[in-house]
Structure 1
Amino acid sequence: MFLRCDQTPLWPVLQELFDAGLHSLDLRQAFAQDSGRFGHFSQQAPHVFADLSKNLWDRPTEGLLLGLAQECGLAAQRDAMFAGEPVNHTEGRAVLHTLLRRPQGMALPGDTPGIARNLAEVHRTLDAMLQYAEQVRGDAAITDVVNIGIGGSDLGPHMAVRALDAFRAAGKRLHFVSNVDGHELHGVLRSVRPENTLFLIASKTFTTAETMANARSALVWFGAEGGRDVARHFAALTTNVEAAGALGITTTFGFWDWVGGRYSLWSAIGLPIAIAIGAAGFRELLAGAHAMDEHFRTAPLAANLPVRLGLLDVWYRNFHGFTSRCIAPYHASLGRLPAYLQQLEMESNGKRVGADGQALPYATSPVLWGEPGTNGQHAFFQMLHQGTDVLPLEIIAVRQAAHPLPGHQDKLLANALAQAQALMVGKASPEDGHRHFPGNRPSTFLLLEALTPASLGALIALQEHRVFVSGCLWGINSFDQWGVELGKVLARDLESRLASGDAAGLDGSTAGLLARMRGG
């Protein structure tokens, strides 16, 4: 067992340091007193440049946080994950999404038995999946691809396909259906024709309630609209080949129980991405992620970007008491990134008990939220600048545009720079409080040279690993999600009650709402 952050000798030292004055650190003074602050708190990682200098910490604090990571055994926990040890202890599973990005035949020190076999299976599946993707891309009769999945089977592929729109194949429209609300599926079906549509049903077990309801409705629609040859127009991303076959779906691509849903876009779940950007583009996505994996695996903790971000997250959550983090991508194609990161972090680290199953005495995951940059400026940035709560902002910008329109990119980047600057410097207005900006509000700035498959892969892997870092320090299992189960169980019961009207044993509120929904 590894030490939990609050059980280390350095935890009370950090608390004492914070109480003694770091809670009131002034960024403007910090820059005035340290001419090398930007150089120290910025770094280039694979495909991602990060500026952490506008955050509420100094060099001694970062040094103590790095010591905290060492006391918690972060490096050993990281190595255990890469080696394939069962770090998902509540389910007794390895956590090997990084294996999905590892080059064929590559061995790492400490690999557990079976890693080489698993890696060979990964590449066999990858090759078959990419061959199928190229077949679809070359089929002019298929103009629309509808991905039906939910959670990790939707958020990752949806985000990536939108992010890489500049690389998308001409003549192919990608649609994503996740909500069991029939309005979403119906809206997509109205815009496609069965003879020109490929449906991808993404569910590891082929039992996910929302996904299977949508899949069955799509099959009914396909037949009712004159569709023929289910085997040609439906494919399944699942390990339950038998269940898929029972619906007439014969093309299937599987993955493994050591791939969590929110870490699965690198697997067969990424088929819509591969159809959108091609096999070569998908391999570049994997290569970008692998480059960040290697940085996280090999870089010293003090120069390790996922580690520094994860330590900053712990510093903000447990010492400053910040309850949320705002994500503002200054690139329209990254519009789904905040939603993707919500699942990645809040499902991973939204836990209230430690490895021993006992309640933790401190807070864990912050709330993640956000919108594309300039849109957010005209919506919720008012609160970031002048609200009563301090809410750290994470800006993600891209230096090179992928469009030819003159003038737009400079305006976009100027806005990104200006918001980070304004949050820090503020504007004093003693005579008019309405126009007073207190400043000293923290932000992190992540900059990509261009938004490409490789840089997107690196950016996503960076976020995956920072979540792992904070989870390790908090002593929680970042790879299970038992909290989503109870609602599913109750929903099955209530679905039958909506049909029968039986309210026996229900609480007064649920019984009243049930009657109201039935028109009673």
Structure 2
Amino acid sequence: MKNRSIKNIFSELKKLSKSNHSSKKLSFKFESELLDYHPYLKNFSSQHYKLFEELAHQLNLQDSINDLFDGEIVNKTENRQALHHRYRNNQTVLEFDFKKITWPFIKRIKKDGFKNIITFGIGGSYEGPKLLQEYTNKQSSKLNYYFVSGPDRDEFNTILKPLRDQKNFYIFSSKSLSTDETLLCLRWLGAKRNSNNSIVITANTKKAKTLGFNENCIVPFPETVGGRYSIWSPISLSAALENNFSKFLKGGLSADRMLQGGAKIDLQYQKFIKILAFSDLWFSNFLNKNNRVVLSYNWKLRSLQSYIQQLEMESLGKKANPKSIFKETGQSIFGGFGSTAQHSYFQLLHQGTAQFCTDIIYSTSINSPLSRAQAIGQAALLSSDFKESVCLLEKTNSNSPVNLFHLNKLSLEALGFLLATWEHRVFITASMLQINPFDQYGVAAGKLIAKKFLS
């Protein structure tokens, strides 16, 4: 590894950005039992990767990864560890033992014969559980699941009124219990909530008691678990009612071990994650591609984009570090269910003037052969010239860098592996940017201004 200055590495990257290397692509693929990855990254070659790897060495990336998993204080602004990953490791202490913490509540819900599970929450208390429920939904399910985010009374009434004469169980999810939308729903529910039909999942157990929740109705989790990382925590209790949640945690742990391991497959995984992070930085900071569209081509993954949007934009949506060579931080994330998206904003992707990158996620399934064909076809079309055009009007831009992810099965373990992998991508990107991916003061500012206008 050359010991060049960060400034010299940046200068070389700048030179590359001004030269025409559009024909150069990175020759790489990652294949594992759970997930395969194929990059279609025009203008990102092994030369680019080596320069970023050199930069990562200068920025002590490996030390940052070690600090995260060793439980060092990585959330500097709030002087906290970031320990969400400990739920994935079943060798950890009771505080992070998902099964032992949630089982008494799960047993109670099952025993009392509830029909509907209604979760009140927003942000990480909504996106994660909702994604898991849609992903694991079974026609044979004995329970119905509903999610209310608030603060619009119409949403509350639309979901709750048809269920008022049924046996409902209410889950209130909020790390801080200062979330106005969730507290509003708690107030609206009023006397319908009691100690037999409700629980609260929170890191603020003291506040839970002041709101009228008994000790045996409080499901705790630590302050060191951020909201957008809380999918691994008791926040996802509803997903464990009819599923083996340990498989989801096992998938996440597999990704963690690969990130820290030394075997051949581990080193391939580490390169895979770095390619994702390095290319994100390259395209946004040097080629002005500040937007990324995230497309899932399986119905069970239809909310994946919303989950990723929060994970990335809350984690990487920070001011640039004045000491960093990078002036662009996180990309703007949009997207959705691919098949639907093709009939709305894909026209802009194919023939518009906006600059963007693309992530496509799909799984081979007997239920969706057309979706698979669409995913692979769009990856080819977005990243390279479409040779089958019959006239100039059908000529497409074909200049988008594409990351193609293939889940080898639609299992909880595969989803856990994918989401932990995405977290690793975000953390490495943040480390390269020298920003904190674990705070969100912009979100707090929005809450304060709303209270001002409400008063």
**TM-score between both structures, scaled by the size of structure 2:** 0.92
The question of whether the paired residues in 1 share the 8 Å contact of 2:61 and 2:432 is answered with yes
Matched residue, 1:114: none
2:372 maps to what in 1? 413
Report how far residue 18 of structure 1 moved: 2.0
Decide which of 443, 446, 449 is 1:484's aligned counterpart.
Answer: 443
**Pairing of 1:363-442 with structure 2 (within 5 A):** 363-401=328-366, 403=367, 409-427=368-386, 433-442=392-401
1:373 and 1:416 in contact (8 A); partners too: yes
Contact 1:429 1:436 in 2 (8 A): no
- Count of residues in Structure 1 that have an aligned counterpart in Structure 2: 446
Give the corresponding residue for 1:178: 149
| 1:68-113 residue CA offsets vs partner (Å, 9 max, x unmatched) | 22221111100001001101100100111111111225xxxxxxxx
Query: How far off its partner does 1:259 sit?
Result: 0.5
Of 180, 196, 205, the residue aligned with 1:241 is: 205
Matched, 1:163 2:127: no
Residues 11, 45 of structure 1: alpha-carbon distance in 2 compared, 3 angstrom cutoff: farther
Which residue number in structure 2 is paired with residue 116 of structure 1?
none
Distance 1:437 1:175, change over 3 A: same
CA contact (8 A) 1:329 1:335 kept: yes
CA distance in 1, matches of 2:300, 2:201: 25
SS at match of 2:285: helix
Q: 1:6 and 1:372, CA in 2 relative to 1: closer, same or farther beyond 3 A?
A: farther
Where does residue 96 of structure 2 map in the other structure? 122
Report SS of the residue matched to 1:154: helix
What CA distance in whole angstroms lies between the structure 2 residues aligned with 1:453 and 1:78? 25
Give the alignment partner of residue 91 of structure 1, picking from 55, 59, 78: 78
Per-residue CA deviations over 1:199-238 (Å, capped at 9, x if unaligned) read 1011122221111111111124x27xxxxxx111110102
Give CA-to-partner distance per residue, 1:335-387, whole Å, 9 cap, x none: 11111111100000001142x7x898611101101011111111111111111
Any stretches of 5+ residues in structure 1 without a counterpart? 31-36, 106-118, 224-229, 404-408, 497-520
Query: Corresponding residue for 2:60?
Result: 73
Is the 1:8–1:68 contact (alpha carbons within 8 Å) kept by the matching residues of 2?
Answer: no
Counterpart of 1:43, as a letter, is F
Q: Name the counterpart of 2:180.
A: 209
1:486 CA displacement: 1.7
**How many angstroms apart in 1 are the aligned matches of 2:257 and 2:387?**
45
> Residue 11 of structure 2 corresponds to which residue in structure 1?
12
| Letter paired with 2:16 | L
* In 2, Cα distance between equivalents of 1:302 and 1:293: 10
**Aligned match of 1:82:** 69
Check conservation: 1:126, 1:267, Cα contact below 8 A.
no
TM-aligned CA distance change 1:431 to 1:266, over 3 Å: closer
In structure 2, stretches of 5+ residues that fail to align are: none
Equivalent pairs: percent with the same residue?
28
Task: Find the residue that maps to 1:369 and give its secondary structure.
Answer: strand
Corresponding residue number in structure 1 for 2:226: 260
1:449-468 paired onto structure 2 within 5 Å: 449-468=408-427
In structure 1, distance between residues paired with 2:445 and 2:391: 51
Q: Is the 8 A contact 1:310 1:467 kept in 2?
A: yes
For 2:432, the equivalent position in structure 1 comes to 473
RMSD between aligned residues? 2.4
Structure (1 or 2) with the larger CA radius of gyration: 1
User: Counterpart in 2 of 1:227?
Assistant: none
Q: Give 1:270 deviation, angstroms.
A: 1.0
Q: Distance in 2 between matches of 1:155 and 1:6?
A: 41
Q: Distance in 1 between matches of 2:43 and 2:19?
A: 14
